[in-house]
């Protein structure tokens, strides 16, 4: 399903003035608040990064000698690796801090940790934390650029960017598409960032979930809410599944996993309800047989592994936009 074809790329703001916009990104804390042209600029920049990762010599040493610190208060091997690889391909020195195992256990506060790291003069700080607003809080206290790699149920902006890039490369556009985001909307930062981004670029966004997993007032974010896959999927160009946090669900938000899969799991019959050329996405890691059937995850409509590839490209683009904003894309 994925395509290398650069010709498919249609720019939402095609004028040259918009292609290299003179804006400076200090941090990337969320998608909310970004202008459409900024999002488009980051996506365009990410397109250039894809080629870097497909070369034998995967290097674009624009940020050589600079330091990136990965500050992960929540374990996430994939996201952390993606940021690490992105940083290294740009020539940065990357340090991974596994905070979950060190200073926090000794009672050091979040801000103390941040200020300590700040004193080591990093150029970029990538932070993931279980509490919403953490990236914002850190950005106020440190001197370097901060990239939010997920804060509680608030935002996960690079995930939304990589999803958008994946959609754009496979559909040629974002404007006018109908995208269904399915699953645990209430606890999902991925859903929020995607809602903001897709709305900003002119897509129609639907959310599909049992009512217990739809947060209060969600329609105020500009989405249409559906309580059944059968009602929500027809007419969709993109089916975006979310990971169900199995350990916190059972009995509290949904009665059981088998009941959830029966009514909200993505299987072949449900994929068939959407448009014929619809793509299936998932931020991974997947719970096969809980939110998505194995044959769908591995099927022809799935772009799940392309998403992973785009993750590195998008993160490279964001890092460059923050740490070396003056340099133009090639």
Partner 1 sequence: MKRVISSKPPRERLFINARILDPESGFDGHGDVLVRKGKIAKIGKSLPRDGAGRDFKIIDCEGQVLAPGLVDSRVFVGEPGGEHRETIKSVSKAAAAGGVTSLVMMPDTDPVIDDAALVAFVRQTAAEKSRVNILPAAALSRGLGGSQMSEFGLLKEAGAVAITDGRRTVANAQLMRRALTYAGDFGALIMAATQEPSLSGGVMNSGLSATRLGLPGIPREAEIIALERDMRLVAMTSGRYHASCLSTSTSMDIIKRAKDAGLDVSAGAAIANLTLNEQDIGPYRTFFRLSPPLRHEDDRLAMLEALRDGSLDIIVSNHDPQDEDTKRLPFAEAADGAVGLESLLAASLRLYHSEDVPLLRVLACLTASPARRLGLKCGRLAEGAPADMILFDPDEPWVLRDKDLRSRSRNTSFEGARMQGRILRTIVAGRTVFSRTPDHA
Q: What is the DSSP string of 216-279?
A: TTGGGGS-EEES-HHHHSTT-SEEEE----HHHHBTTTBS-HHHHHHHH-B-HHHHHHS-TT-E
Taking the least distance from each CB to partner 1, the nearer of 65 and 107 is 107
Least distance to partner 1 from the beta carbon of 308, Å? Answer: 24
| Residues near partner 1 (CB under 8 A) | 32, 109-111, 129, 131-134, 136-137, 151-155, 189, 192, 215-218, 220-221
Least distance to partner 1 from the beta carbon of 251, Å? Answer: 15
Q: Which residues contact 160 (CB under 8 A, 6 or more apart)?
A: 31, 190, 193, 194, 196, 197, 198
Least distance to partner 1 from the beta carbon of 193, Å? Answer: 10
Pairing status of strand 124-129 against strand 204-208: unpaired
* Cα radius of gyration (the chain): 19
Least distance to partner 1 from the beta carbon of 169, Å? Answer: 28
* Helix (H) or strand (E) run with residue 89 in it: helix 77-89
Q: Contact at 8 Å (CB) between 265 and 293?
A: yes
Least distance to partner 1 from the beta carbon of 196, Å? Answer: 9
């Amino acid at each position: 399903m994925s395509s290398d074809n650069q010709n498919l790329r249609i720019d939402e703001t095609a004028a040259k003035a918009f292609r290299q916009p003179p804006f400076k990104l200090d941090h990337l804390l969320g998608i909310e608040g970004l202008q459409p042209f900024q999002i488009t600029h980051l996506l365009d920049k990410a397109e250039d990064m894809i080629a870097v990762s497909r070369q034998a010599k995967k290097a674009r040493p624009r940020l050589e000698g600079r330091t990136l610190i990965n500050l992960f208060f929540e374990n996430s091997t994939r996201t952390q690796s993606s940021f690490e690889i992105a940083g290294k391909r740009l020539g940065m020195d990357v340090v991974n801090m596994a905070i979950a195992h060190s200073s926090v256990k000794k009672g050091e506060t979040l801000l103390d940790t941040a200020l300590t790291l700040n004193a080591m003069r990093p150029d970029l700080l990538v932070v993931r934390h279980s509490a919403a607003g953490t990236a914002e809080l850190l950005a106020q206290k440190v001197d370097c650029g901060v990239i939010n790699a997920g804060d509680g149920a608030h935002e996960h902006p690079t995930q939304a960017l990589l999803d958008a890039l994946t959609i754009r490369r496979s559909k040629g556009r974002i404007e006018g598409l109908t995208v269904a985001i399915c699953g645990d909307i209430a606890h999902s930062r991925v859903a929020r960032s995607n809602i903001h981004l897709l709305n900003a670029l002119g897509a129609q966004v639907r959310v599909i979930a049992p009512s217990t997993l739809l947060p209060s007032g969600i329609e105020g974010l500009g989405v249409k809410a559906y309580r059944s896959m059968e009602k929500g999927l027809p007419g969709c160009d993109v089916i975006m599944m979310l990971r169900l946090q199995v350990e916190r669900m059972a009995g509290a938000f949904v009665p059981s996993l088998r009941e959830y899969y029966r009514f909200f799991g993505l299987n072949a019959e449900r994929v068939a309800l959407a448009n014929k050329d619809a793509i299936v996405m998932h931020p991974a890691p997947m719970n096969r047989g809980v939110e998505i059937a194995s044959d769908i995850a591995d099927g022809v409509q799935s772009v799940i592994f392309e998403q992973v590839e785009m993750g590195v490209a998008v993160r490279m683009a964001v890092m460059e936009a923050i740490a070396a904003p003056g340099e133009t894309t090639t």
